[in-house]
Structure 1
Amino acid sequence: MVEDTAEAAIDTGELPTLTRRRFVGAVGAVTSAAGLVAIGDPADATEPTATDARTVSLNVNGTRRTVELDSRTSLLDMLREELQLTGTRKGCDQGACGACTVLLDGRRINACLTLAMMHDGAELTTIEGLADGAALHPLQQAFIDTDAFQCGYCTSGQIMSGVGCIREGHTGSGDEIREWMSGNICRCGAYPNVVAAIEQAAKGA
């Protein structure tokens, strides 16, 4: 026993050499005595708390959508998993790539960086809501005309950010467009064509 060893050491005036085995044994004895080691039926364990579900209602692409969500759900996950609007892509999920860009009350944001619950009552536009029936949005058409995409994974975020860029008036030059589109990454490197597409759509606007 650890206690017996310690008492013997005190009686003789000698302290036992601290070894790894003795240290682990002492820690085990202390935690067992304190009841910190859980031994028993797993069924006795405390059940996890229930999900904190809330209701959120947004105007998504012109249609009122009401869903019940875990309060920790990101706007991106709500769009993809609850509303099945998978055109908004999940790239880095850290706000660094821009693939999840949407328009919230007319302003572009990264949907992965905000909680859905924070925007109850807001107006949200995703890539699915840009076209007018069969007629593509001018920037969507410009992306086709200028061949502004390759693999296409970032394209929806590029287009949504480009729409915001045009609305904000940041299209005075190619350099200005590049600066205000710098939050959207294209790993295929189609940047010159993206700029060309935005310039084409901006002239029409």
Structure 2
Amino acid sequence: MLPLLIICLLPAIEGKNCLRCWPELSALIDYDLQILWVTPGPPTELSQSIHSLFLEDNNFLKPWYLDRDHLEEETAKFFTQVHQAIKTLRDDKTVLLEEIYTHKNLFTERLNKISDGLKEKACNESCDIQSTLKVTSCADCRTHFLSCNDPTFCPARNRRTSLWAVSLSSALLLAIAGDVSFTGKGRRRQ
């Protein structure tokens, strides 16, 4: 069952949680917690804490793009850490909840680094992406194929191109206007 949960997990972005794309996740979290806690089942506080960490709206400011392989690997690490925390801190719910919250923050940091790495790879001047890597945009839950200098992944690069085009156009217009005023009307009056 853990692999199903691993496939579904994505972090939150811009106040909306990416996991809204997977409505079955709530049931999978409950099932996995039941397996990890064994009998008589996890305490309500633990279940609510895990649900709030993954299913409630959060505020992450940067757009994330993640591929399945990295996502599955990091989610597996996270739930292994949750399992270890349950085994060692089972009797102290407060400390257990704090430990799980800490692991969630580390999970988020690792996914941030992975996303930054994917964007750096695509937006690098010497981009050499040969394969078609399918990534999910956490902002809208759409999938994209990672490619060199794609405007989806490299909005700053497109702004630089636009700025360059606007600057060149302005310079040409000024040059034309200056040429008309110095060569056209000014010479005819003399």
TM-score (norm 1): 0.22
Looking at secondary structure, tell me which structure has more helix per residue. 2
- Pick 1 or 2: higher relative contact order, CA cutoff 8 A, min separation 6: 2
Looking at secondary structure, tell me which structure has more strand per residue. 1
Structure with bigger gyration radius? 1
